[in-house]
Amino acid sequence: MPSKVVICGAGFIGLRIAHAISQANSFVKPLRHIQISSRSPEKLDTSLHRDLPSAHVLPLVPLDITKPEMLDPAFHGANVVVSLVGVLTGSPKTFEEIQWQGAENVARAARRAGAKLVHMSALGANKDSKIPYERTKALGEDAAFRHCPDATVIRPSLVFGPGDGFFGRFAQLSKFLPFLPVFGDGSTRFQPVFVDDLARLVELVSRDDAEIRRELSGRIVYAGGPDIFTFRDIMKMVLKYTGRTRPIIHVPWAIGNVQGAMLEKLPPSVLTLTRDQVKQLKHDNTVPSPLPPGELSLADLLRKHFQDKPTSAHRILPKYLA
């Protein structure tokens, strides 16, 4: 009897997870049906979605996680719910409605459905933060564990891969800006993780395998790549792999803040920047070392279950930035 994985939030990471599960279906039993849910299924007519084998994919379900009445029908019969919904911009209320209360709605409905919850959070999640993104990510994690104590929470650093919103965005900016900006002295550190490594992790957590479920139950998995880069290193990589030559200009934090104040008022675009994003860029975004007691890392799980290691950005960026 096939099991059913609901992918809640079919954006950049969600569709790669659907592919990882579908590819693993040839060697992981029982077969897992993939149910993709989206606020706007009509927008999902992408090649990534079309390329999924139809035998593995159930019809799309419309779902807004801020509307609890939509969740039970969407999760009916689910063995696993992957909670991926997140936002990068919006008012503090929007962050609360989506990343906190929305995540809580998902966790409650996953429990009612009797499904294992996999919840995508982020490095930097912090209940004491004044930045709504970071605070609501932490409150979303709490809600996930409160309603589903056996949930697995994943905290990735920046995620890279075709279609990503960071490397891809600066590559686009480098097309028309005469320079690339870094805020402050550009020394903030990141540990970018490849989207397909993250997708393999979620595929693993989604398996109907009692031992894996036990290992990952109630745990936070920190997901970073093999290399730590500064903001300035990242801009250099973007220029190297797009083949462009541009000066890298240091923008003082105060000027970044003024830019954020202006740009956050404009409709979303490649130039979108908010004051909170500028503040976030002040903090390192790397996997803690040592890990908090009892928590896990993507690197350890890839080694143990796939005899592999996280993929370097240097291997992948040239394939899609060039």
Ligand X SMILES: NC(=O)c1ccc[n+]([C@@H]2O[C@H](COP(=O)([O-])OP(=O)(O)OC[C@H]3O[C@@H](n4cnc5c(N)ncnc54)[C@H](OP(=O)(O)O)[C@@H]3O)[C@@H](O)[C@H]2O)c1
Which residues are at the interface with ligand X (CB under 6 A)? Answer: 9-14, 38-40, 43, 63-66, 84-87, 98, 102, 120, 122, 156, 158-159, 165
Nearer of residues 48 and 248 to ligand X, judged by Cβ: 48
Strands 296-297 vs 229-230: parallel, antiparallel or unpaired? unpaired
We find the least distance from the C-beta atom of residue 178 to ligand X, in angstroms, to be 27
We find the least distance from the C-beta atom of residue 20 to ligand X, in angstroms, to be 13
Nearer of residues 31 and 61 to ligand X, judged by Cβ: 61
Nearer of residues 70 and 180 to ligand X, judged by Cβ: 70
Distances (CA, A) of 316 to 21, 241, 313: 21, 10, 5
Please give the Cα distance from 228 to 284 (Å, whole number). Answer: 10
DSSP state of 68: G
Q: Tell me the residue nearest to ligand X as measured from the CB.
A: 11
We find the least distance from the C-beta atom of residue 80 to ligand X, in angstroms, to be 16
Nearer of residues 11 and 92 to ligand X, judged by Cβ: 11
Nearest to 263, CA basis, from 279, 253, 277: 277
Q: How is residue 230 written in tokens?
A: 């500064």
Please give the Cα distance from 82 to 75 (Å, whole number). Answer: 11
We find the least distance from the C-beta atom of residue 278 to ligand X, in angstroms, to be 17
Q: How is residue 127 written in tokens?
A: 């209940």
Please give the Cα distance from 152 to 281 (Å, whole number). Answer: 26
We find the least distance from the C-beta atom of residue 1 to ligand X, in angstroms, to be 28
Nearer of residues 13 and 107 to ligand X, judged by Cβ: 13
Please give the Cα distance from 156 to 316 (Å, whole number). Answer: 17
We find the least distance from the C-beta atom of residue 30 to ligand X, in angstroms, to be 26
Q: How is residue 297 written in tokens?
A: 């890392």
Tell me the HSE value of 77 on the side-chain side, using a 13 A CA sphere: 10
- How large is the angle between the packed helices 195-205 and 298-306, nearest 10 degrees? 70
Other beta carbons less than 10 A from residue 175's beta carbon:
10
Nearer of residues 102 and 260 to ligand X, judged by Cβ: 102
Nearer of residues 66 and 187 to ligand X, judged by Cβ: 66
Please give the Cα distance from 204 to 212 (Å, whole number). Answer: 8
Nearer of residues 28 and 87 to ligand X, judged by Cβ: 87
Please give the Cα distance from 8 to 14 (Å, whole number). Answer: 8
Query: 């903030």: which residue's tokens?
Result: 188
Nearer of residues 151 and 158 to ligand X, judged by Cβ: 158
262: Cβ–Cβ under 8 A, 6 or more apart, which residues?
none
- Kind plus residue range of the DSSP H or E element containing 234: helix 231-242
We find the least distance from the C-beta atom of residue 251 to ligand X, in angstroms, to be 21
We find the least distance from the C-beta atom of residue 12 to ligand X, in angstroms, to be 4
We find the least distance from the C-beta atom of residue 252 to ligand X, in angstroms, to be 25
